[in-house]
Amino acid sequence: MKNTILDIFHRRYACHAFLPDRVITRTDLDIVLEAGRLSPSSFGLEQWKFVAVSKADEKTALQAACFNQPQVGSASTVVVILAKTAELDPDSEYVERLMAREYPGAALAPALANYRAFHAATDIKAWSIAQCHIAAANMMTAAAALGLDTCAIGGFDPEAIKTLLGIDGDRHEIALILPVGYCADLAPEKQRLPLSELVEYR
């Protein structure tokens, strides 16, 4: 099992050219999305929403909004990960409903007070986007386990994407673009710094 987990991480890499005619199944796509849904989130607030785009014309438009990166247009499906903003207001029904699950009974009131203080002191948009990146990482790993390929796209015009998909900018921010499909090229050997350069044991 340990080797299997590491094999998945060795397999995953950023695909820059997908096979445009090879379509992933809805079952596999839903597993990838489920990996995102099941991801951990600060305060249990599930800061993400996923828009799965498979229509050719919308993918072409998304590619243009991502500085014409070809992997966006050639992927089978492009998952646009939205970061919630308005719903994270401490007085929102959303916050109370989700935090009541995490902090039941008498634990809820102090947890809400703690969150209110956190919210006042934090760049909520940036925090929400960072939370979405946790979900994105899990989705990429799940895709690799299924034999699928992905590429995390952080370079895009957020306003163009909001317009294209009809996203309410007062409620959501664009966190990440995640093309999913089958890569046209073989994965190169994984290149990473060794643990000896990255880890300090104490």
Q: 136-140: long-range contacts (C-beta < 8 A, 24 or more apart)?
A: 136/36, 136/81, 136/175, 136/176, 136/178, 138/35, 138/36, 138/38, 138/39, 139/32, 139/33, 139/35, 139/36, 139/79, 139/178, 140/12, 140/178
pLDDT digits (tens, 9 = 90+) for 39-82: 999 999 999 999 999 999 999 999 999 999 999 999 999 999 99
- Domains of the chain by start residue, with CATH: 13-89+123-189 (3.40.109.10)
pLDDT digits (tens, 9 = 90+) for 177-186: 999 999 998 8
